[in-house]
Amino acid sequence: MRLNRYMAQAGVASRRHSEAMIAAGRVKLNGETVVSLATQVHPDSDVVTVDDRTLEVTADRKCYLLNKPAGYLTTLSDPFGRPTVASLIRDIPERVFPVGRLDRDSEGLLLLTNDGALGNKLMHPRFRCEKEYHVLVKGVPREDSLQRLREGVVLDGRTTAKAAVESIRRTESDTWLSIVLHEGRKRQIRRMCDMVGHPVMRLIRVRLGGLADRGLSAGKWRTLTHGEIEELEPVSSMTG
């Protein structure tokens, strides 16, 4: 495996930024400073360090995208016997866990992986993963209400981050909104919409970063390609 790819899989930086770090003399292979961008790495035997920090890559890392139906908890077990996403992913051979949360009453795209390091980085506030939702709200919000959602409302004493909010379809009494967030507080969209007087009736996550799969049926999952996984790689503070 080429060194810049190994670094990207370890969550250090993109391949391009990894090459810049190699050129700057910040990367060592088995204790020796790397001078060639074409250097190859054997993950099972080689030790790679960046600024004297050892990198780790999960062997045979896997990521999956699940279209979670409403009514399932985003957890692998529940002491009260309620349905969980574990029952939807029994055919996945690896032991995986959900990345982030999606409320029991919500539906849509959920990422699962067997790579704890990647999962932790994706959930870190520093990695502002963009998430898009289609939200059916009661009533027809006026423009000033939509603007409040865009600018942020106060939840638990803190103002929510700015969001992209647009009306995409209306019925006689309800409205579908597109809401794009860069943060993920508990039941955030439902609470935001309650604050402007338009309770959520249905909430669907339709995009996670660059991942959008409208052809994935409810309750079904698919394996992410290597390219899709690399696009998810968070660029850590080590790139600075």
List residues with catalytic annotation: 103
Encoded tokens for 198:
């338009």
Task: Determine what percent of the chain falls in helix, strand and coil, rounding each to the nearest 5.
Answer: 25, 30, 50
Backbone dihedral angles phi then psi of residue 216, each to the nearest 5 degrees: -90, 115
The residue type of 203 is L
What's the longest Cα–Cα distance across the chain?
68
| Residue in 227, 223, 206 with CA at minimum distance from that of residue 96 | 223
d(CA 221, CA 212): 13
